[in-house]
């Protein structure tokens, strides 16, 4: 069957047809999908019926899978590569997934690691009738549409990121996770410094590449200056015209290119319905530049 890509926006995003991800992808099929990911930034595969092993195998085609430190209670039993997101509970009514109750946390995955992921995979197991969307925006478009003078101001900037700081922020709004890393976990996640403007290693295109919540500061700026600039950057990345809201349905699998895409949660408004997502993120082989 021929693989098809049907764009649903001019700037990013395509639905992929002609693929059953339960089956191992031939090299040529994977090349087409990888090329589509680079070209469109975000790919949506509908009506997939996957076992955890198949989700993990697909994610591993793009980069090494990262098993995140901390939050063991929200990792899938037997498959720690998969992080559970949403408000799902076990037979005793205990939460089994991470639920961000706040929403609107624009970020690109892995800014707090030396080698951020090429891609992230998100697979929908259960979705509410309304609410629970994921928002996406293109860092490439956000960069391209800046005035030239602003580009010259921003391009030299470096950002110090703290995974430990992000972990505390996120777990403080979850019911099921701890708020502190162990000393061993801290030693494995030191602060890193990355450029604000990232060059895509395949296309050469530049993108704004930023996670406000994981930022400790901009190098050479005070925390107050860093916070003010960070809010301006996020406000630009997330302009309404730049944003696509994906309404999930069971069987949807999304994969996006973290070298150019940002995404965000939406507020928790579906207490009486279940949302359960499987998230797999990776570890790339390049430092951003």
Burial class (CB in 10 A: 0-12, 13-18, 19+), 178: middle
How far apart, in whole angstroms, are the C-alpha atoms of residue 172 and residue 98? 11
* 234: CB partners within 8 A, 6+ apart: 106, 210, 212
Domains of the chain and any CATH numbers = 4-283 (3.60.130.10)
Q: Other CB atoms closer than 10 Å to residue 43's CB: what's the count?
A: 23
Predicted local confidence at residue 200, as pLDDT = 98
Predicted local confidence at residue 178, as pLDDT = 58
Structure tokens at 113: 């690691």
Low-confidence ranges of the chain (pLDDT < 70): 71, 169-179
Predicted local confidence at residue 222, as pLDDT = 96
CB-CB contact of 160 with 216 (8 Å) = yes
17: helix, strand or coil: strand
Predicted local confidence at residue 175, as pLDDT = 59
Per the document, the length of the chain is 289
Predicted local confidence at residue 168, as pLDDT = 72
SS3 helix, strand, coil % of the chain, rounded to 5?
Answer: 25, 30, 45
Kindly give the residue spans of alpha helices, DSSP state H, lying in the chain: 27-40, 52-60, 139-144, 148-154, 163-171, 183-187, 223-237
Predicted local confidence at residue 172, as pLDDT = 64
Q: Other CB atoms closer than 10 Å to residue 35's CB: what's the count?
A: 12
* 174: CB partners within 8 A, 6+ apart: 98, 99, 100, 101
Q: Write out pLDDT tens, residues 172-193.
A: 665 555 567 777 777 777 899 9
Predicted local confidence at residue 278, as pLDDT = 98
How far apart, in whole angstroms, are the C-alpha atoms of residue 194 and residue 214? 12
Predicted local confidence at residue 284, as pLDDT = 94
Predicted local confidence at residue 73, as pLDDT = 85
Q: What is the CA radius of gyration of the chain?
A: 18
């Amino acid at each position: 069957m021929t693989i098809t890509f049907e764009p649903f926006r001019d700037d990013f995003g395509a639905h992929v047809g002609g693929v059953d991800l339960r089956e191992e992808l031939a090299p040529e099929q994977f090349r087409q999908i990888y090329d589509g990911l680079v070209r469109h930034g975000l790919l949506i595969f509908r009506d997939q019926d996957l076992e955890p092993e198949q989700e993990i195998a697909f994610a591993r085609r793009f980069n090494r899978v990262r098993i995140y430190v901390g939050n063991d209670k929200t990792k899938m039993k037997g498959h720690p590569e998969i992080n559970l997101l949403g408000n799902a509970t076990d037979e005793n009514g205990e939460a089994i997934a991470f639920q961000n109750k706040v929403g609107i946390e624009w970020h690109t995955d892995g800014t707090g690691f030396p080698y951020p992921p090429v891609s992230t995979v998100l697979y929908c197991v259960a979705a509410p009738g309304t609410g629970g969307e994921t928002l996406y925006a293109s860092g490439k478009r956000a960069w391209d549409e800046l005035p030239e003078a602003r580009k010259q101001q921003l391009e030299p900037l470096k950002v110090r990121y703290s995974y430990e700081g992000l972990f505390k922020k996120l777990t403080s709004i979850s019911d099921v996770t701890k708020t502190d890393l162990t000393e061993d976990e801290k030693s494995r996640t030191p602060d890193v410094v990355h450029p604000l403007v990232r060059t895509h290693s395949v296309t050469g295109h530049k993108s704004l590449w930023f996670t406000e919540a994981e930022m400790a500061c901009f190098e050479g700026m005070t925390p107050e200056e860093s916070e003010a600039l960070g809010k301006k950057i996020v406000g630009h990345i997330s302009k309404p015209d730049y944003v696509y809201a994906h309404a999930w349905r069971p069987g949807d699998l999304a994969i996006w290119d973290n070298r150019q895409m940002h995404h965000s949660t939406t507020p928790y408004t579906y207490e009486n319905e279940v949302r359960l997502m499987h998230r797999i993120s990776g570890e790339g082989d390049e430092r951003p530049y």
